[in-house]
Amino acid sequence: MPSPMHRNIDVTMVCGHKDNAPVSYRGSRQLLDERLNLKKMLCHECMGSLSTWYSTDFGQLAYPMDFPIMAGSSPAQTKFATDVRRDEFKKFGPIMLALSKDPSELAKFAWRAIYMRFMVTNVRYWLDGRNRFNVHLWATDIQRLMKAPGISDVVSAETPYGWFAKGRNRDALGYIIGINPACDLQGKNLPLMHLWTAEMFRQSVSTGDERKAS
């Protein structure tokens, strides 16, 4: 087997920015595969912006939003999962508020990826995945939202995108991509958004309860 070749190639990434990325490959077919994989990823600069947002202390003022009620078989587990979500929102709520005021496309998709996480209603997801939403998983879901989301994607339910995709909820993914965080912050779309998500999760988890989870 020949030794792999190493070089940098110019690629337009999923965010629309051009990057000069390193690749290792054996033969033209593998080089093509590497190029196709890179086109699904964020550029180096966008990844840097995500890391900065993730690590910045934006204070305690959070984005105003409602949460769907958790779907679990045990009241104790449901309460625990709701508490986990509430504690996580203490970190991500202020980030969402800051992102909603940023006009860049990256900020909009970064906001949508966080919003998508807080729309997951499965108790086990929250109990198994607590403290696991790091920059890498955040970037993974942003990349998937930036390209046309398809049910055929090979994804893990470990991320919010994977949870929706595994549940075959194409409408939910399409809806999330259409949210404008800045408009919703001004109250223009909030009633429609919350009525729609209540209906969405009633269908997704077979619960008729439209109450807000506190």
- What digits encode the pLDDT tens for the residues 32-62? 888 888 888 999 999 999 999 999 999 999 9
Q: Report yes or no: 4 and 26 within 8 Å, Cβ to Cβ.
A: yes
On the question of pLDDT at 138 being above 80, the answer is yes
What span, in angstroms and rounded, lies between the C-alpha atoms of 211 and 135? 31
| Number of neighbouring beta carbons within 10 Å of residue 73 | 8
Full DSSP string of 157-196: TTSHHHHHHHTT-HHHHHHHHH--HHHHHTTSSHHHHHHH
Of residues 150 and 123, more confidently modeled: 123
How many whole angstroms separate alpha carbon 107 and alpha carbon 97?
11
The residue assigned the tokens 């940098």 is 8
pTM, rounded to two decimals: 0.80
- Residue 208 pLDDT: 30
Contact by Cβ (8 Å): 111, 78: no
Q: To which residue do tokens 């504690």 refer?
A: 87
Supply 149's token pair: 């989301």
8-state DSSP, 18? E
Angle 69-172-206 from CA coordinates, rounded to 5°: 45
Would you say 132 and 160 are in contact if contact means Cβ atoms under 8 Å apart? Answer: no
| 192 pLDDT higher than 70 | no
Average pLDDT, the chain: 79
Examine the pLDDT at 2 and tell me if it is beyond 70. yes
- Measured distance CA(172)–CA(179) in Å, rounded: 11
187 pLDDT tier (thresholds 50, 70, 90): very low
d(CA 19, CA 144): 18
**pLDDT at residue number 191:** 35
**Residue range 105-130: average pLDDT?**
90
Average pLDDT over residues 78-87: 92
Out of 113-127, 166-180, 196-210, the most confident range is: 113-127
Nearest CA-CA partner of 164 in 94, 68, 93: 68
